[in-house]
Structure 1
């Protein structure tokens, strides 16, 4: 399975641009951590890219992601990726054992909160976003109320990364693809 094949699966099943942006953001975060931890960057990236491919056709906890697993298997997606996708949802009962599984869980929900914070900034950009800005919004429970803060904190802890370091890492990862996910805003990337 290569990225192009994974992207074709995404394009087949996902029409919502924001969902595609979310999946690309998770892919970027997964690639970042794979590089940092000396893991298989392609494997981790493809796992992030595919993790929510079935959300539009299976938009309930009774179906997502477990009803998507047979579709992935039928398309030749390696079992290691399928298992990680199953493990990213607590309700499936699939325990997160590998670092990749823990990384996917840790990167999923936080990308949504980071996106929400970036979009309310005057710049509408990731380029000037910091973990401190996310931390301020974190305390406002009414802001991005759908972002499960307890799950985000637990996922970072399970992955073994301090929460605000994790937020900074994911922001850094998402900056790499800011134009692709609509979060360049009115700024240019700095030369980090």
Structure 2
């Protein structure tokens, strides 16, 4: 890899001041790490996929009207064309004619991770008792986390060729070890 994980974290912190957007990036990173083992080549893909999750919105806080051009340009300058392509694909899949598994995984993890995190925030016990069926029920409530594209959530799983409930479970499992640091543990902490 041309960049290190530390380089990716530094870039995220340099360009992203919003704690909520940093949390989202860390959540998508966790989901992408888990996805690398389920949909990719495991350890061989984990770091690249994690950095795609971490950096996919790194320019949004400072330059929302230019997103994702700035982070894509930086990744390309750093010699990371695969991550750059995944970031382009997460924003505009039609701009990438041949989506790779990494591209599809980022598409599938981004919106869903944000939605799962939102579900945790309204539950007294946070992520602890969250199930795919409770997430799917919330997806039907158009007023809840209204900015999350339901089409992106369902199309993401479809593109990967996986069952939505199984993919939701993957995201829940990925976020659970990070519940405290991401603020997903709920009020009833043990």
User: TM over 0.5: same fold?
Assistant: yes
- The answer as to 2:34 corresponding to 1:32 is yes
CA distance, structure 1, for counterparts of residue 49 and residue 131 of structure 2: 25
Report deviation, 1:186.
3.5
TM superposition shift of 1:134: 0.9
Residue deviations 1:18-47 (CA, integer Å, cap 9, x gap): 101101111111100112233411111111
The 1-side partners of 2:13 and 2:6 are apart by 10
Question: Which residue number in structure 2 is paired with residue 176 of structure 1?
Answer: 177
The alpha-carbon deviation at position 92 of structure 1 amounts to 6.7
Distance 2:52 2:91 in 1: 14
Unaligned runs of 5+ in 2: none
Distance 1:84 1:21 in 2: 20
- Take 2:178 and 2:113, find their aligned partners in 1: how far apart are those partners? 13
Question: Within 2, Cα distance between the matches of 1:150 and 1:51?
Answer: 19
**Contact kept in structure 1, 2:30 and 2:50, CA below 8 Å:** yes
Q: Does 2:49 align with 1:49? A: no
Contact 2:75/2:83 (<8 A) preserved: no
Please identify runs of 4+ aligned residues in structure 1 that moved more than 3 A: 186-189
Tell me by how many angstroms 1:91 deviates: 6.8
Cα displacement string for residues 90-146 of structure 1 (whole angstroms, at most 9, x for unaligned residues): 2771235210110000000011111111111122x2122111111121111111111
Give the aligned length.
Answer: 185
1:106 equivalent in structure 2: 108
Measure, in 2, the Cα distance between the counterparts of 1:178 and 1:139: 24
**1:2 matched residue in structure 2:** 4
| Distance in structure 2 (CA, Å) of the matches to 1:67 and 1:3 | 19
Alignment counterpart, residue 21 of structure 2, candidates 9, 19, 22: 19
Contact 1:58 1:68 in 2 (8 A): no
C-alpha distance in 2, partners of 1:151/1:47? 18
* TM-score between the two structures when normalised by the length of structure 2: 0.90
